[in-house]
Amino acid sequence: MVQNDGTKPWIWVKRSAPSREDTGAEEALEEGEDLLKEITARVEEIKNDESIPVRSSKKTGAKGKKEVREEAQAQATEKFKEIALKHEFVSGKWLSFAPPDKVDVIWSNLATSIVSGPLAATAAFGAKVATSPEEGTATQHLICIYMPDVYDKDAVTEVMKVLLRHHGMNLSGVKSNLYTALGIDSKHASGLPSTTWKTTALLPEKESKALKEAYFENLKAAAPKAATDKPAAAKPAAKAQPKKKQAEDDPAELKSKVKAPAAKGKRAKESDDEDDEEEEERPKKKKALKK
In this structure, what CATH number is given to the domain that contains residue 163? 3.30.760
Q: From CA 36, how far away is CA 269, in angstroms rounded? A: 97
User: Which residues, in sequence order, are CB contacts of 141 under 8 Å at separation 6+?
Assistant: 1, 97, 98, 99, 100, 103, 107, 129, 130, 131, 132
Domain tally, the chain:
2
Pair (189, 282) in one structural domain: no
User: Which residues, in sequence order, are CB contacts of 31 under 8 Å at separation 6+?
Assistant: 83, 87
Pair (23, 164) in one structural domain: yes
Residue 230: predicted pLDDT: 60
Low-confidence ranges of the chain (pLDDT < 50): 244-291
In a domain, 226, yes or no: no
Residue 128: predicted pLDDT: 98
- 156-171 pLDDT, tens digit each: 999 999 999 999 999 9
Pair (53, 181) in one structural domain: yes
Pair (198, 253) in one structural domain: no
The reported pTM is 0.74
E strand or H helix that includes residue 93: strand 92-98
* 143 contacts 96 by C-beta, under 8 angstroms: yes
Domain coverage including residue 284: 243-290
In a domain, 222, yes or no: no
Pair (262, 182) in one structural domain: no
Pair (14, 88) in one structural domain: yes
Burial class (CB in 10 A: 0-12, 13-18, 19+), 42: middle
Pair (46, 94) in one structural domain: yes
Judged by DSSP in three states, 97 sits in strand
Residue 85: predicted pLDDT: 97
Residue 50: predicted pLDDT: 92
